[in-house]
Every structure is written in structure tokens, then in C-alpha cells.
Amino acid sequence: LVVSIIGGGIVGASIAWRLAQRGVQVVIHEAGKLGGEASWAGAGMLAPGGEVASLEGWRGMALASARMYPDFVRELRSESGQGIDYRACGGLELAMGDAEAAELDARAARQAGIGIGSEPARHPSAAHARFYPGDAIVDPRDVMAALRVALSRRGVRIEEGARIADPANLSADVVVVAAGAWSGELGVGPPTEPVRGHLIGFRLPPGTLGPILRHHHTYLLQRSSGFLIAGTSEERVGFQREVDPPTASDIHRRAAGLLPLLGLLQPDDVWTGFRPATASLEPVIGRRGPRTWAAYGHHRNGILLAPATAEAVAGEITASSGMG
């Protein structure tokens, strides 16, 4: 069985890894650099506490994927010999007034019903807070570097600078479209739109921040190296990569509201990335034709959803070919 994967982000590369482990011959066709797009830009929050309050649509998969993450990272570290910055640091969600506090507690009650635990907490910037011990963070650039090594060791061919215009031109037995925000152009399923996000980063001493700190769409997290990331924005401006200084300043202002120290500093880095979104904001995962699979549209949670997506797609492909 030969499988061609179009797109070498965290979704395509994780599927390739799981297929190669099952003995499948895999080629990745990547228009740019492996892990050079959204999977380079993403913050790497693995935070059902902040994102999930029901089991509808992708959310059930997100919970399953969050549970898979520790083993996914352990196995990938051991196969690649590479370090991966993954930390089960928890997340602290802030409420700024009585109405927000009531809303946060009501959401926490719904979350408890689907197995997402949290407890009341305190924070100097907020009227009320809740701590989510199950939330974690990972550096997606580490994951991509480790996947590159693990894939090479398993004989996966990685063709970079290879943009595929039409999946029908590939001769493989199975073609998987995992081209992120560009997937819609390949015509195997619903259209996609890029939802641009800005992030800003500060070099700080490790340990400046404990858990992820969140208030609505503003969040802070810190890598083990000390690099602290603040986000974010959601902009529908097409594939425009340029940093928009007012958007970055707005994130900076909101971030300083959560951690006043940041108001005294200038960001050391600012970058953007394209979240892959379908109109429904649901990912498209599964078989789309006799030899075509799709795995795209993971929007805000593709880093989180990658392990479960890879298991599902690799499992289906091998089962359908009698290898499973």
C-alpha cells in the first residue's frame, strides 16, 4: 500500500507517522517546508478547559486527543531521540466581574458533566478564577522537528517545495488531503478559509508564569525556555502574512491586563499563522472517495486534535486495505 499525503503540517505528518508504524509506504508532498505554516505558528495550548463545554462535533475528539497526548509525546520522543517541550501545567481561567464569574461557574458545571475537572481559584487580576488541572501545553515546533526525524527513520519520503495542484495526478493507492487552510483548493471536500492569528512573544526567565492564563480570547503561556507567548486575534483577511502592528499592540495591551509586567516590555517576536477553517468550523476527517481521504479544517485546535486525527485516519486507511 502506497499513501500520498498532501500537506506536511502536524496533521499530515502525524498521519504519515502512524501509517509508517503500521508498515505503509508513505510520501509527504509539502508545498513549502515540513511544519512551516500553522503548525509552526500555533501556540500549542492543549486546553479542553478553555475550549470545550460539550461533546458536540470535534469536541469529543478533542477530549480523546488530550488524553492521548502524554503517550503521543513519550513515543515520539523515544522514536526520534528529540526533546519535546510538553508540560501539564494546567490552565487558570479568569472572570473579571460578577456576571463573568457566574458564567464561568455555569460553564464549569457543564464541563464537570463531561469529565473536565476544575476548581475555584484566585488571581490578583481577577474577581474570580477557576483552575483546570488537565490543561497542558506543547511546543508544536518541537513536535514537528521530532516528527521529521521519526518519519525519516521509518523511511517516509518527505518532498518539500512540492505543491500538488490536483490529487488526481498522484499515482498512490490512497491520497490524503491534509493541506491546512489551502485544502479547499484541492476539491475533495468543503471549502476552507484561512483565519489569521497573531501571537507575540517575550524572552523572560523560566517560571515567570505558572499555568496558562486565560481571559476570553486573550491567553498567556510560557515555554520551558522562558519564552512567553501572548495571543491572539482572529482575522479573515485571506492569505496575508504581514504582521499588522495595531493588532499586535492590542494583544500586548490585553496581555498586560493579565500580567502587568508585560506592559513594561516590548515583545521580542511577533508572528502570524493561518488557522484552517471550514464554514461550519468543523474539521473534515475521513474518507471522501474511493482512494481519497481528508484531514483538514482543524481551526483553533489542530495541535490538540493531531494525535486523535492521526489514529482515526491511519486506522481507517489500513482497515480499508485489509492491513488493519
Residues that bind ligand FAD (CB under 6 A): 6-12, 29-32, 36-39, 41-45, 163-164, 178-182, 197, 199, 231-232, 273, 275-276, 296, 298-304
Q: Which residue's CB is nearer to ligand FAD, number 103 or number 160?
A: 160
Q: How many CB atoms lie within 10 A of CB 237?
A: 14
Q: Which residue's CB is nearer to ligand FAD, number 43 or number 94?
A: 43
CB 7, min distance to ligand FAD, A:
3
Residue 47's closest CA among 199, 234, 221, 203?
221
CB 10, min distance to ligand FAD, A:
5
Q: How many CB atoms lie within 10 A of CB 48?
A: 25
Q: Which residue's CB is nearer to ligand FAD, number 116 or number 178?
A: 178
Which residues sit opposite 174 in a β-bridge? 3
CB 168, min distance to ligand FAD, A:
13
CB 310, min distance to ligand FAD, A:
10
Q: Which residue's CB is nearer to ligand FAD, number 101 or number 174?
A: 174
Strands 292-296 and 25-30: unpaired
Q: Is 312 helix (H, G, I), strand (E, B) or coil?
A: helix
Give me the helix-helix angle, 302-320 and 10-21, nearest 10°. Answer: 40
Rounded to whole angstroms, how far apart are CA atoms 59 and 71?
Answer: 20
Helices (H) and strands (E) in the chain, counts: 8, 17
**Direct distance between the N- and C-terminal alpha carbons of the chain, in angstroms, rounded to an integer:** 12
CB 149, min distance to ligand FAD, A:
18
Give the number of residues written for the chain.
324
Residue 119 CB-density burial (10 A; 0-12 exposed, 13-18 middle, 19+ buried): exposed
Q: Which residue's CB is nearer to ligand FAD, number 101 or number 134?
A: 134
Distances (CA, A) of 150 to 20, 80, 147, 160, 307: 10, 5, 5, 16, 15
* 77 phi, psi to nearest 5 deg: -60, -45
Q: Which residue's CB is nearer to ligand FAD, number 101 or number 248?
A: 248
Angle at 122 between CA 118 and CA 125, to 5 degrees: 120
Q: Which residue's CB is nearer to ligand FAD, number 124 or number 246?
A: 246
CB 29, min distance to ligand FAD, A:
5
Q: Which residue's CB is nearer to ligand FAD, number 27 or number 265?
A: 27
CB 302, min distance to ligand FAD, A:
2
Q: Which residue's CB is nearer to ligand FAD, number 11 or number 255?
A: 11
CB 167, min distance to ligand FAD, A:
9
Q: How many CB atoms lie within 10 A of CB 141?
A: 17
CB 157 within 8 A of CB 294: no
CB 49, min distance to ligand FAD, A:
12
Give the list of residues 6+ apart from residue 87 with CB closer than 8 angstroms, or none.
Answer: 136, 137, 138, 224
